Amino acid sequence: MIPTLPLGADGPVLPALGLGCMGMSEFYGETDDKRSLLVLRRAHELGVRMFDTADMYGNGHNEELLARFLSEGGRDSALVATKFGIRKAPGEYARTIDNSTEYIREACEASLQRLGVERIALYYVHRAETGRPIEDTMMALANLVQAGKIARIGLSEVSDDTLRRAHTVHPVAAVQSEYSLTTRDMEAEMLPACRELEIAFVAYSPLGRGLLSGAFDLDALSESDFRRNLPRFSSSTMEENLTRLDTLRVIADRREATPAQVALAWVLAKGVFAIPGTKQLSYLEQNVAAASLRLSPDDIARLDRAYAPGSFIGERYTAEGMKGVNA
């Protein structure tokens, strides 16, 4: 059974394991809609309810893929979360961040159209725009809640100060940021803030973008794979990072699980949502099974110690990308 968590103070109670859909459209090499639809259907069959997308994943392609999945019927219980705020050209990483009121309205209408829904269940600010008060962004989003266009507001990669200010304007249902054994910055302030304010925390890239799978092969990535741009994934850095997986492997062997499953079980044990991304049925099934893997307090303590913050080297984004986080 997948453990459940509330999506914010008065949101629905949902299975804590969701599905990240980004790679089905862009960033991680080849995509195949037919195969992705099989993964989406199977995820729903296995009890996954939170499906994570964004308007910029494949420049709308990912939302359209989810619309196909939703339109098959019997999907009333699926909760699709999408995001706005990053404007970029197809296939380019260069981007601008736009949280203007006019753009929020425009982006929301476009996502509603592409998803084929009347209301977006969870609408995230993908990145907060530097220099624009979060209060103004929240006012624009609160107007969309009032108008029935979105049900709940989320924030991605914000600082805890921004979160607290935002929450005074309108309740924030969820914060989505990177969190895994490779990236534990959220533990210092964000996770306690979310607990205090009864805001759900959604861990993205809970497998460290594949690094924690124990089977990651940099050479096998396609030329266009976005991870090739990331300092943490540069060849010398990755070589060193891959030597750090021993504890994960030892615990995985003892539990008759894979390193990816133990990495996911560790995230879920922290009482947060996790949205691992995959395009493959076998990985999806392994990830759902990981939600039933209960690590012992001793396993968790060992993982906490072995992967103390900073254990993995290399920034998780380029210098440009890092400007958008903790905003």
Ligand X SMILES: NC(=O)c1ccc[n+]([C@@H]2O[C@H](COP(=O)([O-])OP(=O)(O)OC[C@H]3O[C@@H](n4cnc5c(N)ncnc54)[C@H](OP(=O)(O)O)[C@@H]3O)[C@@H](O)[C@H]2O)c1
Residues near ligand X (CB under 6 A) are: 20-23, 28, 52, 126, 156-157, 176, 204-210, 213, 215, 258, 260, 275-280, 283, 286-287
- Least CB distance to ligand X at residue 73 (A): 24
- Least CB distance to ligand X at residue 279 (A): 4
Cβ proximity to ligand X: between 73 and 261 the closer is 261
Residue 103 appears among annotated catalytic residues: no
- Least CB distance to ligand X at residue 28 (A): 5
Cβ proximity to ligand X: between 108 and 291 the closer is 291
Cβ proximity to ligand X: between 88 and 147 the closer is 88
- Least CB distance to ligand X at residue 182 (A): 9
- Least CB distance to ligand X at residue 146 (A): 25
Cβ proximity to ligand X: between 73 and 267 the closer is 267
Cβ proximity to ligand X: between 63 and 299 the closer is 63
Label residue 96 exposed, middle or buried (CB < 10 Å: 0-12, 13-18, 19+).
Answer: exposed
CA distance 241 to 126: 28
Cβ proximity to ligand X: between 32 and 135 the closer is 32
- Least CB distance to ligand X at residue 297 (A): 24
CA distance 253 to 266: 15
From the list 57, 124, 179, 283, the catalytic residue is 57
Q: Which residues are catalytic?
A: 57
